[in-house]
Structure 1
Amino acid sequence: MMVELPQARSFPAADGYGDSKTSIRAMERADLPAVARLFNKVFRQQDRDAGDDLIRYLEAVFFGSPHYAPEHGSVVHDSSDGRIDSALLSVPMEFTVHGRRMVARLLCAFMVDGRAGAAGAARLARTVRAARQEMCFSDSSSPVSADHCTAGGGIILPIQSLEWRRAFRPLAAAALLAGRQMPLLASGPVIGAFGWVDRALRRWRSSLKAEFALGCRTEAASLDAFFECAVPMLERFSVRPSWSKCEFDWLASVASRNRSLGTLQSRIVRSDDGRAIGAFLFFGKAKRVAHVLNVLCETGRELDVTTAMFASLDEDGYAVAAGMGQPFLMNAILRQRWLSFRHRGYFCMVTRHAEIKEAALGNDIYIGGLASESWSRLLTDF
């Protein structure tokens, strides 16, 4: 049910959104039908009213965070006739920066209604210049957006801008990845036929099979168990998601709605003595793609944990595993055979804090997976 709120306040100058007469304001729930229609027009080339499913999803994602407040949420620009002609959707996420906590903004979608919204879009873009922000980031920026980011004092994280792919069953993997443009290739009969050939290939080329992780075992785990294991392993990074239990549960809940990517699952990697040395979180569709969101481990156990992860996903029958590049894991990931990379979109960050920028450029940051847009249905559905 859509709830109409009181009239939105204007952002004061201290917030970086102009004076009290500005046409830039916090997005309200009452704006959701118009914003959803703008989303359809910009990203789906369909100039029509959005369905209830999209509107409800926008409400859940952009108003549901435990850290939501108007100053940390999405913003819209009203044209002179009161119509929303551009919008910047964002999700607040709490981060720990050298021991102190702050609310950052994950920028998810920048929408402009053609030429009519150009002036408003320019004003919205100026609000996310580095000098005005605690911390904003986006993991799926276009080249144009990346240029705006760096022009405004932001930085690009090159490794996090990459997606790694490890094929276990190469023909099925190629068909599934090509199926994004040609859906017929990803159909059940085609994947089934390629599966027969892949079985022969795996007998012929043993390198297709993931290496067994000596001294480790992997076990299925609940999301609560993943949380308990992963949070202490984040402490090696100076800048990291804070992940209170409340926020983690909310993120896992909205991520679980993305059924097009499969089922949200977690695994814990243990050493032979039973100690947890790592954990990973992923979406999985049987015999198809395992989309890895987050991988955490004890310092120095990166190779053990990633080797165990790939062995587990191969044993489960996935055709291919894919995930965001992380600097601390790259040396271990690169040991895999049948590995490839693609540019997944620019990972951009803007902040007025030199310590955050230094940590990001020095690879002393953990970001991505649940602490990014990788789980969003806006990238895969509607």
Structure 2
Amino acid sequence: MSSMKYPYRDLGVTFDRQFRNDLNANFDDIEHDIRMIGGEAAQQALEAAHEAETQAIYARTSGDYAQDKGDYAAQQGDYARVQGDAASLAVNNAKNALAVANDAVNNANTAVESANIAIANANNAAASANDAAANANSAATNANNAANNANTQATNAQIAAQTANNAAQAANQAAANANEAADNANTAAGIAQDIIDNTRYIEPYNPDTTYYKNNIVSYNGSSFIAKQTTTGNTPIGDANDPYWGLLAQRGVDGQGSVSSVNNKYPDVNGNVTITAVDVDASPSNHTHPELHIHDNKTVLDGLSDDEGKLLYNGMPVSSVTSVNGQTGNVNLTSVDVGAVSQEDFVAHSADTTKHVTQSEKNAWNAAQAKANDLEILYWMGAM
């Protein structure tokens, strides 16, 4: 017969393969010991009971025989009593054996309870291990979420920094554009003002005077406008004159209304000589049996002479009738030449709604600096 397996293996605190192997081995050993304890006690109790029953039957048989055989019973009475005592002793032994069996059963129950406690402890340990694993998984999930949130915040910070940088660059570009526009406006205003200041009649031409672009002079009854700064260059006004342009050519008296007649221009005295050929007519000595009516008869009929002055439809012939719609002593302003006045330009430059102010530039530059700091912090890992 095999021996008891007790004591059992000690269980470790780490819930691993060795823990499970030790626990299963303990379950097998406890079951073996329970079978060992319960089997021996039951066998002993059964054997004692059988022995007691045998002795009792034998005692009863002997009593009957003694009763039937009175004399023999009397003779054998002592023997019967001895046998009865033996039977009583056998019964007591059987009772004692039964008590031993009950103790064995109680021990087996105690062992089962211990085994159940061990199983419960193992289950609790497993549950604790599962809880620890779940907590570890939860902690890992929380750590991952925190890392994701940190990455998201870093990305948002980078986007905010880039947005601020772009805004600052756009603001700086807008300021640069505004400054360029202001410079261009100043230049245009200066040019316009130069045109306004210089586009005026100065005097009859003087070779010792320095004239500037758009200065107007008179010479030999005609008016000339300077193409560039010039000194000592006599006005001619033809296509080859680099200094002067003909503004109004002299008429008969310098006040005519047209500059030429049929592409013929006055001479220095304002005289235009027209021949029959110039008006596509026949000479006066030409004779023809048929009546000729010239195609330019209407133009010719409009020409007349008034004490040596050539008139066309009653108006003196000259080269210029007006300047920008003005006649007589012309005085041009910025409006007449499509430019802005100096007063309007100053008011426009001072308009802080349309132009970037210095305080706005400072604010944008400060925003740019903060954006740069944020970008540096991000790359250093501080965000």
- Tell me if TM exceeds 0.5: no
TM-score by length of 2: 0.15
Highest relative contact order (Cα 8 Å, sep 6+), 1 or 2?
Answer: 1
| Greater helix content | 2
